[in-house]
Structure 1
Amino acid sequence: MENIRIYNTLSGKKEILTPLEPGHVKLYVCGITSYDYCHIGHARSALAFDMIVNYLRYRGYKVTYVRNFTDIDDKIITRAAEQNCSASELANRFIIEFYRDMDALGIDRPDVEPKATDHIEEMIELIEELVDKNMAYQSGNDVYYVVESFPEYGKLSRRNLDDMQAGARINVNEQKRHPMDFVLWKGSKPGEPTWDSPWGPGRPGWHIECSAMSRKYLGATFDIHGGGKDLIFPHHENEIAQSEGANDQPFVTTWIHHGFVTIRDEKMSKSLGNFLTIRDILDNYHPEVLRFFIFSTHYRNPLDFSETAMRDATGGLERLYKCIAAIENLKPTGDDKQQDRMVLPEKDREKILSLEKRFQESMDNDFNTARAQGIFFETAKILNRSVKLIAENPSTKDTILLKDCAVTLKKLANIMGLLRENATEYLSARKAMQIAGLDLDEEEINRLIEERNKCRAEKNWARSDEIRDELLSKNIVLKDDAAGTTWSVK
């Protein structure tokens, strides 16, 4: 538990997780702006932090997980006008759609999910504190943060304020003292949602909401703040300035940022029109396939989506399920002579027994799910070999060892949301889907395999080969081993 190392964007290095309150991790993640359906980039964010929370709890930590909804901003107002509804109606509709997507992916709900519009009072209070400290000022009907009042501005993104000023432009209608000053409160425009404030009717700026809500639910200083790399600047940089300026204490100990999802190496975004919604993907793939694909790459690295990658993920997940099914179908022998006999090589037994330790070592190293998946496959290879060995040389003791390992493998994979299905049922459903487009059904395939097995027993090799070739011509591949004959779709 004390060995978990996390890459901290703020320091630029991996650091030992040391919660401010021993044993209790407080985590805040920036959630969606609810104006459209969620795409695979949103899925990566939600899945990454779902995995992190699951792992921390598995390692014995209490976790308080807060993820917000931005339910008021320019995009929401514009989209609501296009659809002839109120901003709140639009935002609430897409929050419901968000939950449908998250539930389809099997993602647990955070402990607290605050909406921006429910926390206007807290935002106004925080802005007033900044104004009182001369760290914010009113200009017309707007209120801006004074970036020059915070000497450490740029420390998260490693940007220099002078360089940023040189490249910035002030619009004619903006009355800012410094080009990089950012808005905390926006004066209302005709037809926009508004709230009363000391500076007149208006609505909060985007950055202030997370500072206010995280302070309310986690305190002025907390352990982990997360989001995508696109939020480092300006959003998270501005959160630091607001929160540390108002509270006079560090805002966040550790910053976690996940990489972008790309399509053909180009960042996926709604503005570029090259995005796939979560429901688009789930129309064609099992939710665990998407999870497997996302966790096959370390969360900080770019993730390039392709049909080839998804097919690979489908095959990889199926291999693990086949391994689990083979072990679950093993029957302990009742032969007294075989009760205590052990037939597995000591080297394989040691690998099987060390599965959880090796998994923890990978995940303790900045939640390295890609390496953890590699360990699953290394273990599955040993387990498959062991199943064949036990089929030829029954051993109750080793059968129990394999069954215990299968339980452990499922428990560890569940942290990533994998192997949650009944293995036999998953594989049956997968086979049914694979042969849906073929001109024969599973019953016919099994009948032909049974006939072939009979021919082989009678040494009728000609008819046996004929059946194999007939099935192969219909893209059904047979595999013979000590446990019997299995089939798959080519």
Structure 2
Amino acid sequence: MICLYNTLTKTKELINPIKPNLVTIYICGVTTYDLCHLGHGRTFVAFDIIIRHIRHCGYKVRYIRNITDIDDKVIYKAVKVGVQCKFLSKSFIVEMHKDFKLVNVAQPNHEPCTTKTIRHIIDYVYMLIKKRYAYLNTNGEVIYSIKTTNSYGLLSRQAAIYLNVNKLKNFNNKRTSNDFVLWKRPKPGEPSWDSPWGIGRPGWHIECSAINHKYLASHFDIHGGGLDLIFPHHENELTQTTSCFDGSCVRIWMHTGILILNKEKMSKSLENSIKLRDVFSSYDAETIRALYITSHYRSPLSFSLKKVKEAVTSLKRLYTSLRTTRFRLNVALKETKGIKEEMVERFINAMNDDFNTPKAFSILFYMSKRINYLKHRNLILASNLASNLRSLGSRLGLLSYGSIDLMYIQETILTKAKIRIDDIEKLIKKRNLARSNKQWHLSDNIRAKLIDKSIVLEDVKDNTIWNASLNLQ
């Protein structure tokens, strides 16, 4: 059974879906005013892996991920560059899809934009007013009243800090400083929509509550997002939905750890972000995914070039073990049955335990070690285990390159390095001769020369195998 950590209860809980065999998931998506950065990649790759594993375990998944295409940041950026908000958001939605495709993140079942769900948002705000959880201020804005609930702060555990500060002051026509906007009054020239309370646009928090209600009804299994969304966004969401439906609409809240760059959280607002596509100019999707999964999804992850290179090395080890094995050989062999069953069980147990990708990743390395041992003794046994390694790797979005893909990548690397296969073979022969004559310095120099050309050598018994390395740079 899959067990996952619930931010609300601070415990691990069984997934136990509301509807048998169907897991319903809502993930807060991107605000489309800039290109996606590595922090976005970390969150959405994490949930991509989570959803892959849930599906591999036999569940159907209904996955909703919203797009915030109207927001203060979107409006500010549109004014700054001199375009309409709808055109700005549309262009960045296209770029977001390109980035997610590059990092091999699967599309959700539905990806609604805020501007396409205005009617549902207005209906949701109306419910809160009708139940007297919200009020209309003197500016014509609809505000949620924190005083109407006793449960505010349950998710973030921050009630004592935030509810007792400046509680007697009136900020921006709010009754208390922690009241939050459901329907905003627009400034001149800003996008707006008609409502029973006059023209305006939705607040940030109400959009997600309305959208997940529209697509997943009043109760669903998992609500996720980055750790930075716990307060105030998800706290306010929880408060709204509890008010509307007399109880929490979400069974389990999940949050991914932040990505850290130079000891600070990576974010667009701090202007310290590294764009996903900038990294893809040097490294492929599997390298970035390997980087992400070396850390548990709830833990912070420090980004550095050193860690990227470590991810490259890790992938090289796995692909090296697969090299020379027969692709897609997965027949039942009693010689490998025991180890295959053991590895699959250990892998699944690791993933079932709150998606422990570092542990699952380590199991792949154990398998690669066994493959290296077997492939010089019995290629059929090695290929059989290698097929199993590919299968488990696919659950993490790794080891997707087939033999044809690797041949193409190899040719591309050789062309970029300006070296021919004949030249490589000649250098290997020269190195082998140097080794036989115990000319270790010459041998090492030849290896180093080939490494500079992205060529990695593997000495096997009396033979040397070469490989054009994936992303050695």
> TM-score, normalized by length of structure 2?
0.91
Name the CA shift for 1:316/1:431 in 2 (closer, same or farther; >3 Å): farther
Alignment partner, residue 144 of structure 2: 145
Question: How has the CA–CA distance of structure 1 residues 154 and 463 changed in structure 2, closer, same or farther, with 3 Å as cutoff?
Answer: closer
Q: Which structure 1 residue ranges, 5 or more long, are not aligned?
A: 333-339, 391-398
Could you give the per-residue CA deviations for residues 97-134 of structure 1, whole angstroms, max 9, x where no partner exists? 10010111121100010100111111111111111111
1:448 aligns with 2:427: yes
Q: Deviations over 1:386-437 (max 9, x none)?
A: 11233xxxxxxxx444323222211211121101112574377368638945
For 1:172 and 1:331, locate their aligned partners in 2 and report how far apart those are by CA, in whole Å: 70
Structure 2 SS opposite 1:389: coil
Cα offsets for 1:123-149 (capped at 9, x unmatched): 111111111111000002101001111
Change beyond 3 A, Cα 1:472–1:50: closer
- Aligned mates of 1:329, 1:76 — CA distance in 2: 48
- Relative to structure 2, which stretch is displaced further, 54-63 or 469-478? 469-478
Task: State how far apart, in whole Å, the 1-side matches of 2:339 and 2:27 are.
Answer: 37
Q: CA deviation at 1:441?
A: 3.8
Q: Which residue is 1:12 aligned to?
A: 10
CA contact (8 A) 1:211 1:242 kept: yes
Give yes or no for the alignment of 1:205 onto 2:207: no
Q: Is the 8 A contact 2:144 2:180 kept in 1?
A: yes
The 5 A counterparts of 1:239-250 are: 239-250=237-248
Change in Cα spacing, 1:281 to 1:469, as seen in structure 2 (3 Å) is: closer
Q: How big is each residue's C-alpha offset from its partner over 1:199-249, in whole Å with a ceiling of 9 and x where there is no partner?
A: 110001000001001001001010000000100011001111111101113
Aligned match of 2:349 in 356, 361, 385?
361
One-letter amino acid matched to 1:480 = D
2:465 alignment counterpart: 486
CA distance in 2, matches of 1:173, 1:167: 12
* Matching residue of 1:259: 257
After TM superposition, list the pairs within 5 Å mapping 1:43-442 onto structure 2. 43-140=41-138, 141-160=140-159, 162-168=160-166, 174-328=172-326, 350-390=338-378, 399-423=379-403, 425-426=405-406, 429=409, 433=413, 436=416, 440-442=419-421
**1:3-48 deviation per Cα after TM superposition (whole angstroms, max 9, x unaligned):** 1100000100101111011111000000000000000011111111
The code of the aligned residue for 1:82 comes to K
Letter of the aligned partner of 2:300 in structure 1?
Answer: P
Tell me the CA shift for residue 354 of structure 1: 1.5
* Structure 2 residue ranges without an equivalent (≥5): none
Distance 2:241 2:264 in 1: 34
Match of 2:446 among 464, 471, 474: 471
What is the alpha-carbon distance in structure 2 between the residues aligned to residue 197 and residue 472 of structure 1?
71
Change (3 A) 1:424 1:315: farther
CA distance in structure 1 between the aligned counterparts of 2:425 and 2:164, rounded to whole angstroms: 73
Conservation of the 8 A alpha-carbon contact between 2:343 and 2:367 = yes
Aligned to 1:335: none
1:14 is paired with a residue whose SS is strand
User: Residues of 2 paired with 1:329 and 1:233: CA distance?
Assistant: 48
Deviation at 1:479, TM superposition (A): 4.0
1:131–1:272 distance in 2 versus 1, CA, 3 Å: same
Number of equivalenced pairs? 462
User: Match of 1:167, SS?
Assistant: coil
Question: Does structure 2 conserve the Cα–Cα contact (< 8 Å) formed by 1:468 and 1:478?
Answer: no
| Secondary structure of the structure 1 residue equivalent to 2:324 | helix
Please tell me the residue identity of whatever aligns with 1:319: R
Shift of 1:480: 2.5
Supply the distance in 1 between the matched residues of 2:169 and 2:30 (Cα, whole angstroms): 28
- Which deviates more from structure 2 when the two are superposed, residues 256-265 or residues 322-331? 322-331
Q: How far apart, in 2, do the equivalents of 1:60 and 1:330 lie?
A: 22
CA shift digits 1:145-187 (9 cap, x unpaired): 0111121111111122x53133348987611111111000001
Quote the RMSD (CA, aligned, Å).
Answer: 2.7
Is the contact made by 2:375 and 2:381 (CA closer than 8 Å) also made in structure 1?
no
Secondary structure class of the residue paired with 2:254: strand
Cα distance change on mapping 1:265 and 1:441 into 2, 3 Å = farther
SS at match of 1:328: coil
Alignment-mate amino acid for residue 62 of structure 2:
T
Distance 1:79 1:168 in 2: 32
1:310-344, CA deviations, whole angstroms, 9 ceiling, x for partnerless residues? Answer: 00101110111111123228999xxxxxxx9x9x7
* 1:344-393 deviation per Cα after TM superposition (whole angstroms, max 9, x unaligned): 7xxx8733442211110100000111100000001111111111233xxx
2:167–2:176 contact (8 Å) kept in structure 1 = no
Identity %: 38
Give the C-alpha shift of residue 461 in structure 1: 3.9
Q: Secondary structure at the match of 1:474?
A: helix
Structure ID, larger Rg: 1
In the superposition, the TM-score normalised over structure 1's length comes to 0.88
Residue 270 of structure 1 deviates from its aligned partner by 2.0
